[in-house]
Structure 1
Amino acid sequence: MAGLPQDYQDLSASQKRDALWASIQSSTYPSGAALPAQGPGAAAELQLLWPPYLWATFLHSSDALPRGRVKLIHTFGSVCKVSLKINPASRQAFGGPPGYSGIFKSGGAGLLRLSPAKQNFGSFQPGAGLKILISGRPSVNFLIMPTLDGQGNDFNAFRHPYTNVLAPPQDARLRVVAASFAVAVPTLSANAAHRPEDARHLPMLEAAQVQADGTEVPIADVRAPYQIILQPTPEITAAYHVVMQEDMRLSLAQIAAGSLLFEVQVRESATAELESIGSIVMESEFLASGFGDEVLFFQHMRHRVLGGAQ
């Protein structure tokens, strides 16, 4: 399957999204046909236990998967166009502290991919990749989940909030995979400031260093939250419940474009109060596609200091 145009990284944010969406639309699975469900086998999944294999999730700076790589955990999902809309009054209202910077100030156009983790552990584990496209620069990506252990037999993908800070899994089998990530993270860089503080907390600093139009934020003005939470709106939770099926892709296909999916909340520090800064609006239908499953890539953010040095 074709990847990205040769000049892709130089394009504007809107041109990038148009290119990605065209590839998604052209590879949508045939209507009426059974959606693919047979993912990589157990032998391929063993790669998750090899820390160097996990490095690419942090180090590969592209919107396309590295050649030859497949999605081992969130193999199948659906993608829609979204807009991150930031409330301009957030943080500055009522004489509050200076506002957050970068994407947390500009908002932006992007793609949202929702997908369940493999059902090997007997629990529905929805996850989300939110990609905000940046003009002339690599995208900013948020990899977020409600929980690592999942939500049992509750198949409502909008039942719980999605976040970048996760509690340790309780399931013994999941703890094995989590341990592999915990080993991989410290080896990303010799400098601890250029890697996540742990495998269950992806930092937000990279998203605060650049705006959607590609403008770099001056170092003195960079302000990033500690945690992001996408809180499903009551309306989307109820609407999804009406069309809910065990296969998330079938349910998502029935959600109307234009729906207000999430309220965007952040926390300045681990102990700070939550504050609402904006929303995620759905700007197209959800599509299940070969490109979305086999090519589209969401790089994990990793830096905890300014500058992004290795």
Structure 2
Amino acid sequence: MLTKTVLTYSALLGAVSAAYLRGFLQISYDSQTAKEKFDYLFDQISSDNSPGSWPPTVGWPPASALPYIFIESMKPTVSEVTDVMPDGRYKLIHSVGGAAGVKLELEENPYTGLFQQAEYGLIRFASAKEPKEGADVGALDGGFTPGMGIKFLRDNQPSANIVFLHKLTAQDSWNFFKNTQSNHLSVGGLGTAENLLKKKIETSGSNWVNMVGLSDMARYAEDGSEVSDEDIKFPFQLLLIPTDEMASKFPDEYEKPLIEQLRTIGSGTTLYELHAKEDYDAAPVLIGRLTTTSTIESSVFADSKLFLKHQIMEEDFALRPEWTERCASNDDCPICPVDARC
């Protein structure tokens, strides 16, 4: 009994020590400059250009298999502060794609923090689920659902992260850049699988599962300086509108795998115009452009290890409570321009 107690205590002590070590290492990592962290992550991304893999229907451990997506909690996705996937978690959606460096080329705008300068960004492009590709398959039938995650690094502070989608359901073109993407999504017109996924996202604890917040982007500047609650300013919604060149760069019909298309995009390419809606009813205003700072390549690290925290919308509403007067619930708040009610 004593031996068992000692072993249990030792295991507990080891777990606590490991947690403290992870915390210390995270603080040490966060204290670096934006460029140092960008260089480290980009080196990891570039070290192996093998793609990751789509989750199997059955796998071991079970958490690595696709059906687990409907069981696992989303809480770590909204609470973990790290650039690397927490131990024991797997990318069960957006599992395989391409990665690159990006920056925001910003115009004069009223927002704070990274909305004034964001030079050190990383982006992942991926379909939400594995598409059924082929010359005789349309993108809609193939389930092609483009989405992006963008991480901006800052001096002495954790990164800011935003995720974008056109919608939770597939689009009708194989051109990844055909449609506008946003950090807010419509929750209407979902099928069975999408509604199950929506239920899974509700395990994050947020009542606004179709939205991710932007206040963290505005809280700290790229140099790490903090903006107070009194001075912080951030938009209600962002829209990434493809440039005319990108919207027509690839055909609507299937031509080749996504990564082969992405590899043709050079460094210095403007992918999207960045438009911001100051509040729910405001018209979108151009505030900048999203431009690549490297070529786009597959990466086993980006596909399996790069972590993108999702900020819950409640954090934005806490700073802008007047927004909830217009958007008391998802049903009262159609997300434009993709919602049919717009």
Q: TM-score range by the shorter chain?
A: 0.7 to 0.9
- 3-state secondary structure, aligned to 1:278: strand
Give the conservation status (yes or no) of the 8 Å contact 2:54–2:96: no
Task: Give the corresponding residue for 1:165.
Answer: 184
Alignment of 1:1-310 (within 5 A): 6=25, 7-29=28-50, 37-42=53-58, 44-50=65-71, 53-88=73-108, 90=109, 99-119=110-130, 122-152=142-172, 154-168=173-187, 169-182=189-202, 184-185=203-204, 187=205, 195=206, 197-241=207-251, 245-302=255-312, 303-304=315-316, 305-306=318-319
Deviations 1:138-162 (CA, angstroms, capped at 9, x unpaired): 110011101111214x211100011
- 3-state secondary structure, aligned to 2:73: helix
- 3-state secondary structure, aligned to 1:22: helix
Query: In 2, distance between residues paired with 1:13 and 1:254?
Result: 28
Q: In the superposition, relative to structure 1, how do residues 295 and 243 fare at CA in structure 2: closer, same or farther (>3 Å)? A: farther
- Stretch deviating more after TM superposition (79-88 or 113-122): 113-122
Task: Give the corresponding residue for 1:94.
Answer: none
Query: In 2, distance between residues paired with 1:261 and 1:49?
Result: 33
Unaligned runs of 5+ in 1: 30-34, 91-98, 188-194
Larger radius of gyration: 2
Amino acid at match of 1:41: T
Query: In 2, distance between residues paired with 1:240 and 1:57?
Result: 32
Give the conservation status (yes or no) of the 8 Å contact 1:236–1:259: no
Aligned CA-pair RMSD: 2.3
Query: In 1, distance between residues paired with 2:253 and 2:52?
Result: 20
Deviations 1:229-266 (CA, angstroms, capped at 9, x unpaired): 11111112233449974421111011111101111001
- 3-state secondary structure, aligned to 2:92: coil
Task: Give the corresponding residue for 2:323.
Answer: none
Give the conservation status (yes or no) of the 8 Å contact 2:174–2:253: no
Higher relative contact order (CA 8 A, sep 6+): 1
- 3-state secondary structure, aligned to 2:94: coil
TM-score (norm 1): 0.83
Of all paired residues, the percent bearing the same amino acid is 27
How many corresponding residue pairs?
277
Query: In 2, distance between residues paired with 1:175 and 1:9?
Result: 36
Q: In the superposition, relative to structure 1, how do residues 239 and 206 fare at CA in structure 2: closer, same or farther (>3 Å)? A: same
Give the conservation status (yes or no) of the 8 Å contact 2:237–2:276: yes
TM-score (norm 2): 0.76
Query: In 2, distance between residues paired with 1:210 and 1:105?
Result: 10
CA-CA distance at 1:290 after TM superposition: 0.9
Q: In the superposition, relative to structure 1, how do residues 285 and 244 fare at CA in structure 2: closer, same or farther (>3 Å)? A: farther
Query: In 2, distance between residues paired with 1:161 and 1:140?
Result: 21
Give the conservation status (yes or no) of the 8 Å contact 1:40–1:72: no
Give the conservation status (yes or no) of the 8 Å contact 1:85–1:281: yes
Unaligned runs of 5+ in 2: 1-21, 132-140, 320-342
- 3-state secondary structure, aligned to 1:53: coil
Query: In 1, distance between residues paired with 2:253 and 2:265?
Result: 8
Give the conservation status (yes or no) of the 8 Å contact 1:240–1:255: no
- 3-state secondary structure, aligned to 2:162: strand
Query: In 1, distance between residues paired with 2:213 and 2:91?
Result: 22
CA-CA distance at 1:225 after TM superposition: 0.5
CA-CA distance at 1:181 after TM superposition: 1.5
Q: In the superposition, relative to structure 1, how do residues 125 and 243 fare at CA in structure 2: closer, same or farther (>3 Å)? A: closer
Deviations 1:166-198 (CA, angstroms, capped at 9, x unpaired): 01142222111112213x14x3xxxxxxx5x51
